[in-house]
Chain A
Amino acid sequence: MRGIVKRFPGVLANDRIDFDVRAGEIHALLGENGAGKTTLMNILYGLYRPDQGQILLNGRAVAIHSPADAIRLGIGMIHQHFMLVPTLSVAENVALGLPSSRGFLLDLDVVTRRIRELSNVYGLRVDPTAMVWQLAVGEQQRVEILKALYRGADLLILDEPTAVLTPQEVRELFATLRRMAGEGHSLIFISHKLHEVLSISDRVTVLRDGRVVKTLPTSEATREELARLMVGREVLLRVERSPVELGDVRLSLKDLWAHGDKGVPALRGVTLAVRAGEILGIAGVSGNGQRELAEVIAGLRTPSQGQVEIDGMDTTGWSPERLLKHGLAYIPEERMRDGVVRDFSVEENLILKDHVDRPFASGIFMNFGTIASYADRLIENFDIRTPSRDAPLKNLSGGNIQKIVLARELSREPRVLVAAQPTRGVDISATEYIHQRLIAQRAKGTATLLISEDLDEILNLSDRIAVMYEGQIVGVVDQREATVEQLGLMMAGAHKV
Chain B
Amino acid sequence: MFAQGLWISILAITIRAGTSLLFATIGEIFTERSGVLNLGVEGMMIMGAVCGFAAAFHTGNVWVGVVTAIIVGGLLALIHAFLTITLRADQTVSGLALTIFGSGLASFLGQKLGPGGKPLVGMIGPKFAKLPLPGLSQLPVIGMPLFQQDVLTYFLYGLVPVAWFYLYKTRPGLHLRAVGENPQTADAMGVHVTGIRYLYTVIGGMLVGLGGAHLSLAYTPGWTENLTAGRGWIAIALVIFSTWDPVRAVLGAVLFGGINAVQFRLQAAGTTIPAPFLGMLPYAFTVLVLVIITWWEAFSKRVGAPAALGLPYVREERV
Give A contacts to B, CB under 8 Å: 8, 45, 47-49, 66-68, 71, 77, 79, 83-88, 92-93, 95-100, 103-106, 147, 261-263
Inter-chain contact B171/A83, CB cutoff 8 Å? no
**Which of A71, A98, A105, A262 is close to B170, meaning CB atoms less than 8 Å apart?**
A105
The yes or no answer to B225 lying at the interface (CB within 8 A) is no
Inter-chain contact A104/B316, CB cutoff 8 Å? no
Inter-chain contact A104/B172, CB cutoff 8 Å? yes
Inter-chain contact A67/B172, CB cutoff 8 Å? no
Inter-chain contact A104/B170, CB cutoff 8 Å? yes
Q: In the complex the two chains form, what is the Cα distance from A93 to B185 in whole Å?
A: 9
Chain B positions within 8 Å of A45 at CB level:
188
Chain B positions within 8 Å of A47 at CB level:
187-188, 315-316
Chain A binder among B57-65, B94-102, B175-183, B197-205: B175-183
Near A by CB (< 8 A), chain B positions 146-182 give: 169-175, 177-178, 181-182
Inter-chain contact A66/B190, CB cutoff 8 Å? yes
Give the interface centre of A45, A103, A263 by most chain B CB atoms within 10 Å: A263
Q: In the complex the two chains form, what is the Cα distance from A106 to B165 in whole Å?
A: 11
The yes or no answer to B186 lying at the interface (CB within 8 A) is yes
**Which of B171, B178, B315 is close to A106, meaning CB atoms less than 8 Å apart?**
B171
Q: In the complex the two chains form, what is the Cα distance from A49 to B315 in whole Å?
A: 10
Chain A binder among B72-80, B125-133, B279-287, B297-305: B297-305
The yes or no answer to B191 lying at the interface (CB within 8 A) is yes
The yes or no answer to B1 lying at the interface (CB within 8 A) is no
Inter-chain contact A100/B171, CB cutoff 8 Å? yes
Chain B positions within 8 Å of A83 at CB level:
182, 184-185, 188-189
Inter-chain contact A85/B301, CB cutoff 8 Å? no
Check A84/B182 contact, CB under 8 A, given A104-B172, A105-B169, A262-B301: yes
Chain B positions within 8 Å of A103 at CB level:
171
A-B contacts, 30 of them at CB < 8 A, read: A47-B187, A66-B187, A67-B188, A67-B189, A71-B190, A79-B188, A83-B182, A83-B184, A83-B188, A83-B189, A84-B182, A85-B181, A85-B182, A85-B186, A88-B178, A88-B181, A92-B174, A95-B171, A95-B174, A96-B186, A96-B189, A97-B189, A98-B189, A103-B171, A104-B172, A106-B169, A262-B301, A262-B302, A263-B297, A263-B301
Check A96/B185 contact, CB under 8 A, given A48-B316, A85-B177, A104-B171: yes
Chain A positions within 8 Å of B185 at CB level:
83-85, 93, 96
Inter-chain contact B191/A97, CB cutoff 8 Å? yes
Q: In the complex the two chains form, what is the Cα distance from A290 to B182 in whole Å?
A: 26
Q: In the complex the two chains form, what is the Cα distance from A71 to B188 in whole Å?
A: 9
Chain B residue with minimal CB distance to A96?
B189
Chain B contact patch, size range: 20 to 34
Chain B positions within 8 Å of A106 at CB level:
169-171, 173-174
Chain A positions within 8 Å of B178 at CB level:
85, 88, 96
Q: In the complex the two chains form, what is the Cα distance from A79 to B178 in whole Å?
A: 17
Inter-chain contact A8/B189, CB cutoff 8 Å? no
Output the least CB separation between B190 and chain A (Å): 3
Inter-chain contact A105/B181, CB cutoff 8 Å? no
Chain A positions within 8 Å of B188 at CB level:
45, 47, 67, 77, 79, 83
Chain A positions within 8 Å of B173 at CB level:
106
Q: In the complex the two chains form, what is the Cα distance from A394 to B189 in whole Å?
A: 31
Starting from the known contacts A67-B190, A84-B185, A97-B191, 6 additional A-B residue pairs (CB-CB under 8 Å) come to A8-B318, A47-B316, A67-B188, A77-B188, A86-B182, A96-B175
Chain A positions within 8 Å of B181 at CB level:
85-88
Inter-chain contact B182/A105, CB cutoff 8 Å? no
Chain B residue with minimal CB distance to A11?
B318
Chain A residue with minimal CB distance to B173?
A106
Chain B positions within 8 Å of A98 at CB level:
189
Inter-chain contact B175/A97, CB cutoff 8 Å? yes
Chain A positions within 8 Å of B186 at CB level:
85, 96-97
Q: In the complex the two chains form, what is the Cα distance from A85 to B182 in whole Å?
A: 6
**Which of B187, B189, B298, B316 is close to A262, meaning CB atoms less than 8 Å apart?**
B298
Chain A positions within 8 Å of B301 at CB level:
261-263
Chain B positions within 8 Å of A92 at CB level:
174
Output the least CB separation between A126 and chain B (Å): 17
Per CB-CB distance, the 3 closest pairs between chain A and chain B, nearest first, are A97-B189, A68-B190, A83-B185
Output the least CB separation between A413 and chain B (Å): 36
Q: In the complex the two chains form, what is the Cα distance from A261 to B169 in whole Å?
A: 31
Chain B positions within 8 Å of A100 at CB level:
171
Give the interface centre of B170, B188, B302, B315 by most chain A CB atoms within 10 Å: B188
Output the least CB separation between A266 and chain B (Å): 13
Output the least CB separation between A145 and chain B (Å): 14
Q: In the complex the two chains form, what is the Cα distance from A99 to B189 in whole Å?
A: 11
Q: In the complex the two chains form, what is the Cα distance from A297 to B297 in whole Å?
A: 24
